[in-house]
Structure 1
Amino acid sequence: MLYIAEDVSIPLKEIRIRAVRSSGPGGQHVNTASTKAVLRFNLGRSRRLTQLQKMLLRGKLRRRIGKDGVLTLACQTHRSFERNREEVLRRFADLLAEALAPVMERVRSGVPAGERRRRLESKKRRASVKRCRGPVRREDW
């Protein structure tokens, strides 16, 4: 069982992880071992998520979900498949937890007193500059 939040958990049998050849440096080992972990999770077939949760995930993770409705994540940062598997599961849990977290609405607040004071001081300074210029005469043009 993979725990996402206090009320959301996903059985590991709903998650498919397979080993794939990893790209990048690694010497002779890179061409023989499949150390990259690719996680696939079918949102539509999940029995643990409610319809509302599935809808939220489809909306927030639409760039990561393919046309077939499968969420795909990959990890190849480590040199062993086991560590990449742990990492991709952690990323998956973090991604779902973040997507399912409720969005807090912004509470409008007033203009801070310091900001109001600075604005009025600026206006007074500008008025003082204009007042000290004196009258404009026709011959000065």
Structure 2
Amino acid sequence: MKDFSRELNFKTSRSSGAGGQNVNKVETAVTVLWNVEASGFFNEDEKVLIHNKLKNRINAEGFLFLTVSESRTQLMNKNKAIEKITEIVNKALIVPKKRTATKPSKAQKQKRLDSKKKLSDKKENRRFKL
């Protein structure tokens, strides 16, 4: 887990929604911006992985952005934004392991055929015979 918080830029704005006078006069919402391409913490392969997995969050200039307005204070929102963007980037860096194709064993095939035969016999015995 890499800590790239020194590369983050922050913008503040007024939060939306209910909150009365506090919402109307205090800029508590925090938007965190991070330039993926200019990052010195990640190599090129990791940057490509981040771009591919988070392409819907990266704008045309190459900035990954996230807005947090959960708390009433700017500092708490800033800390939560750092936490969230770090978590998102670290999840994007996880490469799922390749699935190796396997074939069913002889015993599994035989068990399947036996159950099919058993069901077929049961249905055959239900028929009316003359």
TM-score of Structure 1 vs Structure 2, range by shorter chain: 0.7 to 0.9
Matching residue of 2:53:
60
Q: Which amino acid counterpart does residue 86 of structure 1 have in structure 2?
A: N
Q: Which amino acid counterpart does residue 87 of structure 1 have in structure 2?
A: K
**For the aligned residues, what is the CA RMSD?**
2.6
Matching residue of 1:130:
124
Quickly say closer, same or farther: Cα 1:124–1:70, change in 2 above 3 A.
same
Give TM-score, length-normalised by structure 2.
Answer: 0.84
Quickly say closer, same or farther: Cα 1:123–1:22, change in 2 above 3 A.
farther
Aligned equivalent of 2:79, options 71, 81, 86:
86
Residue 102 of structure 1, CA deviation: 2.2
Q: Which amino acid counterpart does residue 79 of structure 2 have in structure 1?
A: E
Number of matched pairs: 129
Instruction: Choose 1 or 2 for highest CA Rg.
Output: 1
1:46 aligns with 2:64: no
Matched-pair contact (CA < 8 Å) for 2:57–2:64:
yes
Matching residue of 2:3:
9
2-structure distance, mates of 1:60, 1:27: 38
Runs (5+) with no aligned partner, structure 2: none
Residue 128 of structure 1, CA deviation: 2.3
Runs (5+) with no aligned partner, structure 1: 137-141
Matching residue of 1:104:
97
Q: Which amino acid counterpart does residue 45 of structure 1 have in structure 2?
A: A
Identity between Structure 1 and Structure 2 (%): 25
2-structure distance, mates of 1:23, 1:74: 12
Residue 126 of structure 1, CA deviation: 3.2
Q: Alpha-carbon deviations, 1:76-129, whole Å to 9, x = none?
A: 111111111111100011001100112122344565979x75774354133222
Matched-pair contact (CA < 8 Å) for 2:37–2:62:
yes
